[in-house]
Structure formats: structure tokens, C-alpha cells
Structure 1
Amino acid sequence: MTEQVLLAPDQICAAYAKNTGKRDRDLAESLGITEGQLVAAFAGIDVTRLSASLDDIFPMLNGLGEVMALTRNLSCVIEKVGQYDNYHSGAHASMVLTEEIDLRMFPGQWVHAFAIERETDKGTKRSLQVFDAAGDAVHKIFLRDGSDLNHWDELVSNLQADDQSQTLSVEPRKPTEAAKVNTDKVELLRSEWAKMTDTHQFLRLTSKLKMNRLGAYRVAGEPLVRALEPATVSQMFEQVRDQGLEIMVFVGNRGCIEIHGGSVETLKQMGPWFNVLDPRFNLHLRSDHIAEVWAVTKPTQRGPAVSVEAFDAGGGLILQIFGRRSGENDHRPAWDQLVAGLQSKKETEVA
């Protein structure tokens, strides 16, 4: 790992004090450091470095009571209010499964963890924040007015790391993988895709054929995939709201995927941000980052799983939306009909 010593911790703290209205990630970028390095500079002040092990963290989260869970990538932020419970540990992938907080975590990306207790004009704000080896945020947990502060103190005490230094060693960010296509295997992709019985088989299939998700979408063609206009994402949310449908929204990064299952009600465009602003579910999506949108159908034993998936200009997956599964049925006729009605992108514009 490499140590980036572009600014000393006291310089970072001073810059933060002068820019209290700026989001941490934006301030870090303006300073030429990572968000993890910005947070680490306050260790011993209002930040405590913690163990980043999922098996250490997650058994203690339930006692906090109601909190807000946040996961983001460069183009989208998802926030869910609820209580952590039903944690399933795994060497390569772990899960939290509750009605409101639904997560898939990849432990290898959980490298640095911090407890933050910061005084603001609205009182003390407490959060647990986890970052990957590059210093980018993986997952954040924010306490709410009803959270158990005694348990928070116990959690911080139990998880406190021996290393409380104010500097953070980071690795270079891994670049986003661009669309990857194996033109010799397109017909095999189509035939094997049509035989799938579970959506989780898809990435194994593309890997076997030396492709990736976006590359496969670009060559598979109908009826498996259909390119949509970028504006259809906000239109899709509006139709979901108007029809009272329940959907599943997946937003993630390399270390964590957070999922909303349910309806959407309050939608608002604010500059480049398209927002869902419901009491226990918020979504903040940079509409201007959407470069490609695909309507995708994957066969399963429970019926076809239909999704709308948005990608950025670099080929990175921004978010996926499915109809919410009911019992053993993946087939949601109203959702499927909604997706079928979304505007196709003109063929000449498809990359």
C-alpha cells in the first residue's frame, strides 16, 4: 500500500473547518485526498478507528435500534431507515436480510472503519463509516434520534482498533471495466442465456465467455435485452409511483450492495439529481451521469426476471430496478408491461 502524504492531518482538519457546508467526499476530492483520509485525520478528535471486520461489526449493530443505512457509488446514493438484524457471515459474501435493510457485502473490500461523533448546529451526529483500500466509502450507518446511545458507546469501545493514527495508507483505485465483448461467442451467449434458471447464473456465464455484463447487453439483442433512452429511468419511477407498483432497487459499489424493496411516492428533480424522498427510503441519482439504459429479461425457474439497468459513460453499473418478487413468482405482469412500454433508444445511437 502507498502512503499519500499530500496534506498533514492538521492541514486537513483546518480545511474542513473552513468548508463545513461541503460534503466530505467533495471536500476530499478538492483537497486531492480520499474521503477515508479526510475522516482519518480526525482520529483522536471526534473520530475513533475501529475494526473493519464484518464479523466484528454486524453482531453489534442490532442493539443500536433504528438507524439509517447508506450505500453509494459515483452516480447514485441509496438510504434506508431500519434496524440491522439477520446477519449471515461469509468468507466472500455476507448478507443482512430484513424487510427494510437488505444488504450484500463483500468482506475483502471492508478495509478501514471509523466511528464519528461530530458536533453540528443540530446537535451531535454519530455515524459508523467503512472505506475500501482506495479510501472510498463502502457503507455508512447514521444514528437517529431514537438510536440507543449507550449501545453506541459499547460498540465503539468493543470495536476500537489499536491503531488510532491520523493518516491512512491507500491503494490506487481500480478502474471501471469497460464493456467487454467476445464476438466469437455471441450465439453461445444467446443460447446459454435462454437456458438460465436463476439470475445469479448470468455473471458466471459472461465470465465463462470472456465478456462482462454491459458487453453482453450490447450484443445479445431482443428479446433478451433492449436499449432504452436515458430519460426512461425517471419516467419509469414516475410510472411506478402512479401505478402503485412495488419494485426492488439495487445500488452498490465493489464492497456493498443495498436494496430497497417496496413502493415509491415522493419524486423530485433538483438540478442534475433525480430524487426519491420518502420517509424511510431516499434515492439520489445523477441523471446526467446516465449514458446507457437497458431493459433486460433473464429466465428463472420462477418466471422471467425483468430489469431496467443504468450505466455511466465508463461502463460502470449505476443501479438496477426489478419488479418486486412475490413469494415464488418472479413474474410481475404490471411491471413487465411498464418496462415493455418504455422508449427504445434509436439504433443509430446504441454504442
Structure 2
Amino acid sequence: MELKEKYESYKKDNPKARIYDCAKALAVSEAQLLLTQLSDDVVLLKNDIWAILQELPRLGHVMALTRNDACVHERKGIYPTPSNEGHVVLFHNDDIDLRIFIQSWAYSFAVKVKDLWSVQFFDTAGLAVHKVYLTKESDSIHVYEELVHAYRAEDQSYFTIQAPTALSDISVPDTEIHIDQFQEDWLKMKDSHEFFGLLRKHNLQRTQALRLAPDGFAEQLAADRFFEILNQASVQEVPVMVFVSNKGCIQIHSGLITKLVTMDNWFNVLDTNFNLHLNIDAIDQIWLVRKPSTDGDVHALEVYDKKGNLIVQLFGKRKPGIPELESWRSLLQVQKIEN
């Protein structure tokens, strides 16, 4: 098998490379590489994602990982019982907070590498959307083994994932946007989640929408402001919400952040139950965004890459029905002035 040989050769030459990096280097998906490794330690699971998701609480204390090309979000805790809202599956407690767009999830694997046990999920293109790792506190290897036995796919042979055709760019130039109507719709928002519908209605890319936002509702900041805001949130003990997403999953940390460390081109939050790893080189734009809601205006810090993809979002910690933290708003106001 040609790909299997290429993968083994690359790992031999790059022993510290993670499977994500190997897949990038070999121009294939992570799931495609896992299919070359099918064995007792790498098991393709049945095509019953919802049933497998319902088993995750049984694993006990685990680490949930969601990433995109520029940022990795890791949160430790115990999965709550999920709820299936049709187009979205929700896990929500103080530790594990996920919004899963299950229609794009297609493959799952149980993967054991040395002393790491994990359940990994992939979309229709074989791209990783979410991973669950047992921790030293899990004490649930037997549950993991039961899950693998119950959901092991009958056919454990290699196959090629047929990636769907990439969607063409449907963005519309500024000159064709009804800017007045768009801005009016922005000001009518009652919840920040309505922003997605606003983009679809006006055929806007996210950064394009920010450029065309009503006066005072979106301001581009210098790149260093992002790191200073996180630093001040840590120093002032302002609890935040950190969102990282890909096409299949949004993962959220809510709470304080304390240990901030920059290593080479990576900015990291290295707390006991929450880790964030952000590739500094991937950052192209930082925006301070204000959106109306029934609880008052909500301010977000949004980070984008060169293609206009959202990398990470920060909010002050809040729940529906509760106004935004004044401490978060004050922190942002100071940074806005210094910008």
C-alpha cells in the first residue's frame, strides 16, 4: 500500500510529528492515514455517530480536543448526557461545552498509541472534527474497551475516502451589497447567534461583514492587542469564554485563564483543565465586535487567518438572560483606547 509506506517513512524521518502534521505533509486527511493503520490498536467504528456520542459520559474524566488549522482547544472534564436538537448535538456542563453539527460527521475511530487511548471523529472529507482522550484520572480503560467491542465496524479493511467537491467562493463584492439594509439588520439582532443568518441573507464573508458593520460595532485592532487582552484578563481575573471551531464542532471554555506562555510561534494557555495552543504566524486580523442582544450589547474579540477563517473567539463569561460582565467591557474599552 503506497500511502502506508509513505506514512511510515515520514514518521521515521520525523519521529515527533503528530498525525495532523503528517497528513498535511502527505496531502491527505488524518482519517485516510488511520485507515492505513487498522489493527487491534486502530479500530474503525460503526457508522452510528449519535450512539457513540451517547457513550462518552461513561468514559469519566477525559480531555476533549477540538482544533482548526491555527488553534487547538483542549478541555478536561466529564461529558454530560448529550441532547440532540436535530441539526446540532449539545454537550453542556461547566467543563465540557460543545456544539456539534452532526450532519457533517462521517467516520469515527478508536485509537491507542502507546499509553494514549482516544475516540476520534472525522467529517466527510476525513478531516478531524473532535477527539476524546482518556486521562490519568479516567480509570475507564475497561469502558473504552467495551465501547470498541460494541461499536467495532465489521469491515476493517482499507478504503479511500472520497472527499466532497470543495465549494466555490460565493462571496459578493461590496458594491453589490445592500449595505444600509445589512446594517439595519445588524442593529435588529436580538442574539449573537443570529449573526450566522445575517451572513447568509446578505451573502457575506465574516471579515467582509465586519468591514461593513454599523459605525462603532466592529473595529480592527493591532495584532498585539489580542495577547494583551488575554494577559489582562488573567491578571485582573476576568472570567472569559474561549470558542474554537471547525466545520463540525464548536468547543467552549468558560472561566478564568491563568498561565499564559509563548513558545516559538505558539501562544499557549496552560492551565490545569484548559489548554489553548494558537499559531501566532497564522493570525492576520483581530476584530473587536459588538452585537446587540436582548440582554444588552455583547462584545467579542475575534481572530482571523489570511483566508478570512475564524480562528478563535473570546467573550466575557456569561449565560443567556444575564448582561455582559462590566469587568470584560471595561478591559476591552481600555485596550480599544490604547489601540
Classify the TM-score, shorter chain.
Answer: over 0.9
Equivalent position to 1:81, from 76, 79, 88: 76
Contact 2:7 2:33 in 1 (8 A): yes
Matched, 1:267 2:260: yes
The CA deviation at 1:330 is 3.0
Q: Does 1:200 align with 2:187?
A: no
State the SS of the aligned residue for 2:180: helix
Residue 143 of structure 1 is aligned with which of 134, 149, 161? 134
Deviation at 1:158, TM superposition (A): 1.3
**Percent of aligned pairs with the same amino acid:** 34
- Corresponding residue for 1:100? 95
Q: Write the distance in 2 (CA, Å) between the matches of 1:157 and 1:45.
A: 11
| Greater mean alpha carbon deviation, residues 182-191 or residues 262-271 | 182-191
Aligned residue type for 1:134: A
Structure 1 residue aligned with 2:25: 30
SS at match of 2:33: helix
* Of 144, 152, 159, the match for 1:152: 144
1:8-28, Cα deviation, whole Å (9 max, x unpaired): 435534543554321111122
1:130 has 2:121 as partner: yes
In structure 2, relative to structure 1, the CA distance for the partners of 1:14 and 1:313 (3 Å cut) is closer
TM-score by length of 2: 0.93
Distance 1:181 1:90, change over 3 A: farther
Structure 1 residue 166, shift from structure 2 partner = 2.8
2:170–2:203 CA contact under 8 A, matched in 1: no
Q: Which amino acid aligns with 2:145?
A: D
In structure 1, how many angstroms separate the alpha carbons of the residues matched to 2:24 and 2:146? 33
- The residue type paired with residue 306 of structure 1 is H
Runs of 4+ off more than 4 Å: 175-182, 343-346
Q: Superposed, which structure 2 residues align to 1:223-302 within 5 Å?
A: 223-302=216-295
- CA drift of 1:32 comes to 3.1
Partner of 1:170: 162
Which whole-Å CA distance do the structure 1 matches of 2:281 and 2:48 have between them? 36
Q: How far apart are the structure 2 equivalents of 1:330 and 1:168? A: 50
User: Is contact 1:138-1:256 (8 Å) kept?
Assistant: yes
Superposition RMSD on alpha carbons, in Å?
A: 2.2
| Distance in 2 separating the partners of 1:177 and 1:337 | 38
Change (3 A) 1:95 1:326: closer
Q: Distance in 2 between matches of 1:234 and 1:266?
A: 13
Inter-CA distance 114–225: structure 2 relative to 1 (3 Å threshold): same
Q: CA deviation at 1:187?
A: 1.2
What does 1:320-331 correspond to in 2, within 5 Å? 320-326=313-319, 328-331=321-324
Q: How far off is 1:45 after superposition?
A: 4.5
Match in the other structure for 1:340 = 333
**Structure 2: distance between partners of 1:334 and 1:141:** 33
Residues 48 and 160 in structure 1, CA contact (< 8 A), matched pair in contact too = yes
1:211-269 residue CA offsets vs partner (Å, 9 max, x unmatched): 23221101114311111111211111101001100011110100011000001000001
* 2:212 alignment partner, SS class: helix
**Counterparts of 2:230 and 2:43 in 1: how far apart (Å)?**
39
Structure 1 residue 179 displacement after superposition: 6.3
Distance of aligned partners of 1:16 and 1:90 in 2 relative to their CA distance in 1, 3 Å threshold = farther
Stretch of structure 1 that moved more, 228-237 or 181-190: 181-190
Mapping of residues 55-66 of structure 1, within 5 Å: 55-66=50-61
Q: Could you tell me which residue of structure 2 aligns to residue 54 of structure 1?
A: 49
Q: Which amino acid is 1:307 matched to?
A: A
Measure, in 2, the Cα distance between the counterparts of 1:176 and 1:75. Answer: 22
For structure 1, which segment, 187-196 or 315-324, has the greater mean C-alpha deviation from structure 2 after superposition?
Answer: 187-196
Distance in 2 (CA, whole Å) between partners of 1:78 and 1:252 is 9
* Partners of 2:330 and 2:167 in 1: CA distance: 36
Instruction: Measure the CA separation in 2 of the matches of 1:10 and 1:289.
Output: 31
**Aligned partners of 2:16 and 2:165: how far apart in 1?**
26
Checking the alignment, whether the CA contact within 8 Å between 1:10 and 1:41 is kept in structure 2 is no
Q: Secondary structure at the match of 2:85?
A: coil
Q: Could you list the runs of 5+ residues in structure 2 that have no partner in the other structure?
A: none
